[in-house]
Amino acid sequence: MLNSRNILVCLIALLASTFALAQGPTGSAAATPPVAYASVSELNAILTPLQQTAQSMQSDLTKMRIEKWKTDGATKKQTLANVDSIQRNLQSALPETLAQLNGSPEDLGASFKLYRNLDALYDVFGSVVESAGAFGSKDEFQSLSHDMTALETARRSFGERMQKLAATKEDELTRLRVQVKTLSAAPPPPPKKIVVDDTEPPAKPVKKKTTKPKPPAAATTAPPQ
């Protein structure tokens, strides 16, 4: 059974693929409207705290002393692997996605990519926090719990933005379909008629100029001697 998060992910994926097809093979619309200032401000209000949370997560993960936990080796090994995966994501995948989204704030593909990344981070980081609460120190657990709360806030806020963005794009696609249907049903324009005006009198022929021959020069007779 699908929960609300999975339904949102499926909806966004469908809209992203459909909108990409509507844009054409080049992947860009013929005329991209400017992004509204309110939309950019809303995105910045989510991404700025998210970047701060990512920095805090990296710092708190580095301070962990998993090798001192009172648990079996398999649990320590799995937690270390999870921490390594989270740090790679925070140092590489997440900054790249954020940069792509900053360049195109309403790009459905980039937005969906970030949402999936936050979803994966939330799941793996949640496992680390749970293990820290069971086997780690009190300070470790408190720091990681604070990061977890901030990450959940960013994920939830971005999910709400995705819902609004998906609804907006769906409306755009509906308008595009109506326009295409209207243009397809419209009759073709009638062929242009060429009208020949034969009421004008025919043009007079141009007379050729004739050159008169010059008279022969008179012969001169020599005087008698």
Per-residue pLDDT tens over the stretch 148-158: 999 999 999 99
- From the number of C-beta atoms within 10 Å of its C-beta (0-12, 13-18, 19+), residue 184 rates as exposed
Residue 222 is encoded by which pair of tokens? Answer: 């020599």
Backbone angles phi, psi at 205, to 5 degrees: -70, 145
Position 91 in a domain? yes
Q: Please report the pLDDT score of residue 29 as a whole number.
A: 42
Q: Which CATH number is 99's domain given?
A: 1.20.120
Question: What tokens appear for 1 in the block?
Answer: 């059974």
- Going from the C-alpha of 157 to that of each of 9, 121, 200, 220, 224, the distances in angstroms are 14, 15, 78, 122, 134
For 173-222, write each residue's pLDDT tens digit: 788 888 787 877 767 677 777 766 556 566 666 666 666 666 665 555 55
Establish if 116 belongs to a structural domain: yes
Residue ranges of the chain with per-residue pLDDT less than 70 = 1-33, 186, 188, 195-225
User: Which pTM value belongs to this model?
Assistant: 0.66
- Domain enclosing residue 92, as ranges: 54-169
Helix (H, G, I), strand (E, B) or coil at 159: helix
d(CA 82, CA 80): 5
Q: Is residue 163 part of a domain?
A: yes
Domain count, the chain: 1
Q: Is residue 62 part of a domain?
A: yes
Residue 204 inside a domain? The answer is no
In a domain, 64, yes or no: yes
- Burial of 76 per CB tally in 10 Å (0-12, 13-18, 19+): middle
Asked whether the beta carbons of 143 and 135 are under 8 A apart, the reply is: no
Structural domain includes residue 14: no
In a domain, 164, yes or no: yes
